[in-house]
Structure 1
Amino acid sequence: MKQILLKYADNGDNNFETFLQLNTHKILNGRKYINDDEVNYLLPIDKIEADREAISYAIRRCLFQKYFFAPIGEKLNTGATVLDIGCGPGFWIKDVGLDHPSSTFIGIDIATTQFPPHDRHPSNVGFLRCNATHGIPFPSETFDFVHISMMCTAFTEYQWYQVIKDVVRVLKYSGWVEIIVSDPLIKNLGNAGKLICEKQGININIHATMPEIIDSVNELEDLEHVSAEYPIGDWGGCLGKYAATNLRKALEGIVYLSNHLKLSTKECDDLLTIYMKELNENKSSGYYHRYFARKAHIS
């Protein structure tokens, strides 16, 4: 099974892959974005974005001090199959793959441009181009653990229900799913921040809706929730500085932000500068939430 999954997930380096990249990407303001009307992802898929995602990943590692909270560690040590949905550059899956060489890890993402080269990830880790909203391309009961991190802006609420339903299909019985989402409703948000959030139409309740989405699939049980608060701004020391950098780079990557705000590029940049200043002065903070649940036999 391990060899079959890894062969299936081998993203390759051939002409067909190059053709896919040419047809699924577009360049806007010098940044690369997904070129698919069905995809809601607002952020770029280039090297600059991969560097930002590295900062975001490091912040969560610092906050939680664990790769996962689901009780899957013993199974990973003896040999498990793991799916990472929306893996991006593969930071999480590479780290966990190194720690658990007996297990098999498959990362899927609609953008292949961020996948690491073959010689820069463990041999028990593979990557596959896939739009999870069109269905997860694996047989039922394939995986022991499914991990989904920071897909808050990638799925609509309806799509979340569909994806979680399909996640349960590919999960083995007694397997676990773990979902990490951020809370866009930042504590002590200033006027500039409120303007950005309101104009962008962010669904600030997706983290709170996650238990309802998980509960909608009656095969999932033992739902647990862990959250962590982090500072944003210089007032929070090194972590706060990184968090502010991560937030600004994410907002700068939203190519349509200035249009939504009805501002010029310079006016939008000035607003972001005010936003960062407010976050520091107000000693603002944000939250990450982790939800994990187990697939149970339904009698």
Structure 2
Amino acid sequence: MGRPVSKIDHQTSESVNQQPRKGSIFKYTRKRSDAAKSVASSDIELSQHCDVANTNYFPPTYEDEILRFQLQHYLIRFAWESNFSSPVIERLTEGAKVLDVGLLEMATDYPASSFVGVDTSPMYPADIRPKNVKFQIENILDELSSPNDTYDFVRIQFLSTAFTTDQWVNTVIPELIRVCRPGGFIEFMESDNKLIDAGPSTEFIMESLIFLATKGIGNITPYLQTYLAQTTKLAGICYENKSIPIGRWGGKLGELGEQVMKQTFEVEKIPLSLFLKITHEEYGKITRSATREFSEYKALIPTCRIWAEKV
């Protein structure tokens, strides 16, 4: 895998005014909009799909969700031509310790290295797990079990809306830094979730999904570099972005992007139907309209990587 050329972002983002929520993921103190009220009325049903306390993350417990993660992985690897951008290929080849928060996908590429995958629920198939992989069910908000300065490479992906700003700044980022060795690298693979050039049906579905996932709190991605710099424990913070096409207009990559979006719609059918107070049939009409819009509007998925060295 080649390492993409990095682009250093010299712009400083303004801090986002986001308030952390307390207790259950369905209990929040922000002023409720009509959409928020509809969330509250569906809390009991939605709780069956989201049971990790203090996080917005929907635990992947379904085969459809596993398929979505796999398709997403192939899409990112195809678009970026790599699984990561940090300059750690030589270390991984020789043998390194790696922590992957989210979905573990690199172990077979680097058999000399050891990998620890951390997630809130079992996502890695036990029957095909490589020998150099250890999977741990942990919640990073509860502090990881790994000692200080354990890993040469720490990687986290697509969890930008899983935590509040307070949790990111005071728990998640410090915890990732704590378990990374000095001289090791920490990398984030994220998206801001709001599609570029999306059609009206697509925007409606995505905005509803984002609000449902975050309860209106927002996305950390635009501010992540600022928060990393504020720790003073990371050097050489690098940023790179790629926009991924959705639809046949984007060739093979666009077709894969469309598969990911369709699978996302399928996975979120039950919670979004409850949230929007519509039937599954009505939901299907909206998502089919959104699918038709992909090529009409030439929609794009904005993705980015941010990586830095621990000093």
1:11 matched residue in structure 2: none
* Residue 213 of structure 1, CA deviation: 2.3
User: How many aligned residue pairs are there?
Assistant: 260
TM-score by length of 1: 0.80
SS in 1 for 2:52: coil
**Alignment of structure 1 residues 16-165 onto 2, 5 Å:** 33-42=49-58, 44-87=60-103, 90=104, 92=105, 96-112=106-122, 114-117=123-126, 119-161=127-169, 162-165=171-174
Match of 1:193 among 169, 189, 202: 202
Change in Cα spacing, 1:226 to 1:240, as seen in structure 2 (3 Å) is same
Give me the TM-score of the superposition, normalised by structure 2: 0.77
Aligned-pair CA distance for 1:116: 1.7
Which residue matches 1:280? 295
* Equivalent residue letter for 1:251: F
Equivalent runs, 1:240-251 vs 2, <5 Å: 240-251=254-265
Aligned-partner residue type, residue 82 of structure 1:
V
Corresponding letter in the other structure for 1:109: D
Contact kept? 2:49, 2:271, Cα under 8 Å: no
Q: 2:235 matched to which residue of 1? A: 221
Look up the equivalent residue of 1:46 and give its one-letter code.
Y
Distance 1:248 1:260 in 2: 19
Query: Contact 1:45–1:111 (CA<8 Å) still a contact in 2?
Result: yes
Deviation for aligned residue 1:205 = 4.5
State the 1:152 CA deviation.
Answer: 2.9
Could you tell which deviates more after superposition, 78-87 or 259-268?
259-268
Distance 1:153 1:251, change over 3 A: farther
DSSP-derived class of the 1:211 partner: helix
Which protein has greater RCO, CA pairs closer than 8 Å, 6+ apart? 2
- The amino acid across from 1:266 in the alignment is E
> 1:141 aligns to what SS in structure 2?
coil
CA distance in 2, matches of 1:104, 1:34: 31
Unaligned stretches of 5+ residues in structure 1: 1-27
Q: Is the 8 A contact 1:221 1:295 kept in 2?
A: yes
Select the residue among 172, 186, 190 that pairs with 1:181. Answer: 190
Residue of structure 2 equivalent to 1:232: 246
Q: Within 2, Cα distance between the matches of 1:133 and 1:266?
A: 38
Identity of aligned residues (%): 29
Consecutive unaligned residues in structure 2, runs of 5 or more: 1-44
Q: Is the 8 A contact 1:226 1:291 kept in 2?
A: yes
Q: Distance in 2 between matches of 1:205 and 1:261?
A: 21
Q: Contact (CA 8 Å) 1:34, 1:44: kept in 2 or not?
A: no
Give the residue type in structure 2 aligned to 1:160: W
Counterpart Cα distance in 1 of 2:286 and 2:59: 19
